[in-house]
Amino acid sequence: SRSLLLDGIVKGGKFVVVGERGHILLSGNGYDWRQVEVPTRSTLTGVCFIDGNLGWAVGHDAVILKTTDGGQYWDKVHYEPEAEAPLLDVWFGNEQHGIAIGAYGYYLVSHDGGTTWIRSDFNVLDKGNPGEGATEDTLNKDEFTGEYQLHLNAIAQSDAGQLYIVAEAGRVYRSDNSGESWIEMPSPYIGSLFGVLPLTGNTVFVYGLRGHLYRSDDAGLTWQKMETGTMEMLTDGIRLSDGKIVIAGMGGALLVSHDNGSGFVLMQQSNRTGYAAVMEEDTQNLLMVGDGGINHIKLTGTY
């Protein structure tokens, strides 16, 4: 209840959350939790499952863990503390092909189910054409970043097959070929982006520092700024099974949309807890993890 937890997922009727000191917790109902043994004490920052059994977790010291039994047992398949680059997120498109990303442009690829990982340059072929959301500041952001290797903060795939990565300095990248190549998309914001939420078709949301939330309906070519009513950092988002969209962040910030993301209502939580990840218990109940361990939030009648 007091542990710093940084990511979580619901798969196969099971909740899996990860956090500091290598903590991995499992639950079948979101209330009764069991901590499993893991072969690391490095802080874990991201978790990904493609079914109820096969999953991966990533974290500091470039550690990557793999499970084939739903999280009961984990193998350490990658560990590179000398790189001094924590991994921040992980994605798998199928049982074989995965990508792990992290600080200072750290980019790893696996083609054998995450058993072995190859470090690769994060090659961006070219930049997308500047769109309506681009500004002079963001078009000139190369002057701001120079040769600095940007932190790659989050990766997600749309149901149309596009992969997105968001990073520092307002960078948004898209791949139309499962990560073989990337295009830098125009961005309306020079500050760090910490999350990306693709919806149906070409609609995608990106969000990050100071309550900044943007929507694109053309796969990242143009952007619309969304009003959030908060200056808190936004960290994670999901679409619930009934269509509601939820974006969570620091300081108890919780944004809810029931009109397909056309507008959001701020549900400011009085406990001011920092939320790192949000999961769906059911359409009216959320499970949140962050600096206050595990929290439950009921949506009924609150907006």
DSSP string over 138-186: HHTTHHHHTT----EEEEEE-TTS-EEEEEGGG-EEEESSTTSSEEEEP
What's the pTM value of the predicted model, to 2 decimals? Answer: 0.92
State how far the Cα of 136 lies from the Cα of 119, in Å rounded to an integer: 34
pLDDT at 135: 45
State how far the Cα of 276 lies from the Cα of 271, in Å rounded to an integer: 15
Phi/psi of residue 212, nearest 5 degrees: -75, 130
List own/partner pairs for 117-124 with CB under 8 A and 24 or more apart. 117/64, 117/77, 117/78, 122/152, 122/182, 123/181, 123/182, 124/173, 124/182, 124/183, 124/184
Do residues 67 and 50 make contact, with C-beta atoms less than 8 angstroms apart? no
pLDDT at 3: 87
pLDDT at 130: 43
Tell me the residue type at 286.
L
Q: What is the dihedral of CA 27, 65, 234, 245, to 10 degrees?
A: -50
State how far the Cα of 28 lies from the Cα of 240, in Å rounded to an integer: 19
- Reported as a single tens digit per residue, the pLDDT across 184-227 is 999 889 999 999 999 999 999 999 999 999 999 999 999 999 99
- Lookup: tokens for 242: 């009934």
Q: How many residues does the chain have?
A: 303
Q: Considering only the C-alpha atoms of the chain, give the largest distance between any 2 of them, rounded to a whole number of Å.
A: 51
pLDDT at 140: 45
pLDDT at 134: 47
pLDDT at 302: 47
pLDDT at 225: 97
Residues of the chain with pLDDT under 50: 129-147, 302-303
State how far the Cα of 228 lies from the Cα of 251, in Å rounded to an integer: 14
pLDDT at 148: 57
State how far the Cα of 284 lies from the Cα of 257, in Å rounded to an integer: 13
